[in-house]
Amino acid sequence: MTTPDGETGRFRQRRRTRAAIVAATTELLRAGVTPSVGQVAEAADVSRRTVYQYFPTLEQLLVDATLGVLSQAAVDEAIDAADTHAGTDGDASARVAAMIGALTTTSAEMLPYGRQLIRLTVDAPPAGDAASPRRGYRRVAWLERALEPLRPRLEPAAFERLVSALAMVVGWEALIVLGDVRGLDTDEQLDVSLWSARALVRAALEEAGTATAATPDGGSSKR
């Protein structure tokens, strides 16, 4: 289903605001400060009300920011390294694999925070815009960055659907299922996550190729 441009724009603006709040909190934490909501609002140049719209509790905000401190550089560096090995055009599968590898490698350190963040966001009542995602904005940004080489080859709706599909097999929820439900160790979790991600990327490309082949003028088919 295609997302209206206005809705997409609002979603991206919400994500930018949320990211700015977390970034401000992260910088305060790195400076050795355990910030109050007021300090975060001032650093992010937003109101206290806006902070509470995105984070109903200070605990949730601090956990999210702590996860950023632990994982941001590792994942960004992994994607950059994959780009270097893949050549100037990049390889989306390699970039996604690098992202998954970095997250899985650091899962022992980060998963307790991930579990706590899930608990806080699941248990918390809706605040502000109930349609706004409660977590995972960082994951989505990483996936969009990793998949960027595929954007010209996929219709916008197909690109967004691939991001959504990969969001189900990458992240805390997936690691918890693989560990708690399937009893897999870290290496096995990585293997399953990589297999799933490659299958989804391959399916998206195959579907795009079929759609293009069905239009002799080279245009994109619309379903």
pLDDT digits (tens, 9 = 90+) for 34-70: 899 999 999 999 999 999 988 888 998 888 888 777 7
**Cβ-Cβ contacts under 8 Å for 151 (sequence gap 6 or more):** 159
Phi-psi region of 218 (alpha: psi -120 to 50; beta: other; left: phi over 0): left
**Burial state string for 97-116 with b = 16 or more CB within 10 A and e = fewer than 16:** bbbbbbbbeebeebbebbeb
Number of separate domains in the chain:
1
In-domain check, residue 219: no
- What domain range includes position 36? 5-213
pLDDT in tens, 64-112: 888 777 777 888 889 988 876 654 445 899 999 999 999 888 887 888 8
Task: Report pLDDT for 64.
Answer: 85
* pTM more than 0.95: no
pLDDT in tens, 192-202: 999 999 999 99
In-domain check, residue 36: yes
Instruction: Say which CATH number the domain at 205 has.
Output: 1.10.357
Q: List Cα–Cα distances, 130 to 126, 127, 161, in angstroms.
A: 5, 6, 21
CB 149 within 8 A of CB 89: yes
In-domain check, residue 221: no
Q: List Cα–Cα distances, 176 to 112, 138, 140, 182, in angstroms.
A: 10, 18, 18, 9
